[in-house]
Structure 1
Amino acid sequence: MGLNISRAHELMKSAMDYRAARQDIIAGNIANADTPFYRPKDISFEDTLAQKSAEIFKDKSQTLQMAQTNGAHLGPIGSDSSKPTTFFRDGHMARNDGNSVDLDVETTEMAKNSTMFNALTAALKKDSALFKSVIDASGKTS
């Protein structure tokens, strides 16, 4: 495990990983715009990021426990909450070949994702620069 600059730094790194994965999926959708019967995919990571944030900042208010009304009932099945959920982005008219990729939607989603990725990059740089300035200032003797 590396140096932990701040709790927010870890969250921003996770968000960047998810944004990079989403960029790959959107690029795959665009690449398959002419593939018959292709359905565009996307990932949902906002819930996963909220869980990660609650975990990092020790906020347990967003945890919902499953009620078990009878001792004979099965308990909850654990899932890996560190992975985003992949789903098919439907709702667009399929063409005659069954493909439902809408290039306008895909390029818009890619632009929004790129903007968020760039904002995260800037925030990480600022967070790192603040940490570096504290180290530099503590190394100087008066």
Structure 2
Amino acid sequence: MNISRAHELMKSAMDYRAARQDMIAGNIANADTPHYRPRDIRFEEVLEQKSASLFADKSQTLQMSQTNGAHLSASEGTSSAKPTTFFRDGHMARNDGNSVDLDVETSEMAKNSTMFNALTAAMKKDSAIFKSVIDASSKTS
């Protein structure tokens, strides 16, 4: 059961934030591994597309015309976009070829944790609003 359209978006964002936290932790764990390159995950574009599809006004959608019955019908805008992982380069590699910068990794981890905590608080607030509506409706009947 979806509490709201935003709830689904926040759930996806939390999943991606958790995956990013694991990836950053892996980078820190491999700080002494020779020739290791730090990895990261980019998911903001995927969330923007999901947000646009969730909050789009369906009544304002232009329907595709089908001029011949043999033509394929339009698909329902399902996106196959997935978060992308990439190597976070740009930092000077040490003599052993490792380019993990602990200062960068710890600051990225702190930023990611802050965003995860903000999403958690937003989900709690969203759920509390839904619960209060249910509680109020049960008192009136």
Q: TM-score, normalised by structure 1?
A: 0.82
Corresponding residue SS for 2:140:
coil
Q: Percent identity?
A: 85
Large movers: runs of 4+ above 3 Å: none
**Paired letter, 2:111:** K
Offset at 1:58? 1.9
Residues 19-30 of structure 1 mapped to structure 2, 5 A cutoff: 19-30=17-28
In the other structure, the counterpart of 1:102 is 101
Corresponding residue SS for 2:85:
strand
Instruction: Give the total of aligned pairs.
Output: 122
In the other structure, the counterpart of 1:35 is 33
Offset at 1:79? 7.3
Corresponding residue SS for 2:132:
helix
Distance 2:95 2:45 in 1: 35
Offset at 1:141? 2.7
In the other structure, the counterpart of 1:93 is 92
Offset at 1:59? 6.3
RMSD: 1.7
**Paired letter, 1:33:** A
Distance 1:84 1:141 in 2: 46
Distance 1:42 1:139 in 2: 47
Distance 1:79 1:102 in 2: 35
- Structure with the bigger percentage of helix: 2
Corresponding residue SS for 1:140:
helix
1:45 is matched with which residue: 40, 43, 46? 43
Distance 1:79 1:122 in 2: 28
Q: TM-score, normalised by structure 2?
A: 0.83
Corresponding residue SS for 2:86:
strand
> Structure 1 unaligned runs (5+)?
61-77
**Paired letter, 1:123:** A
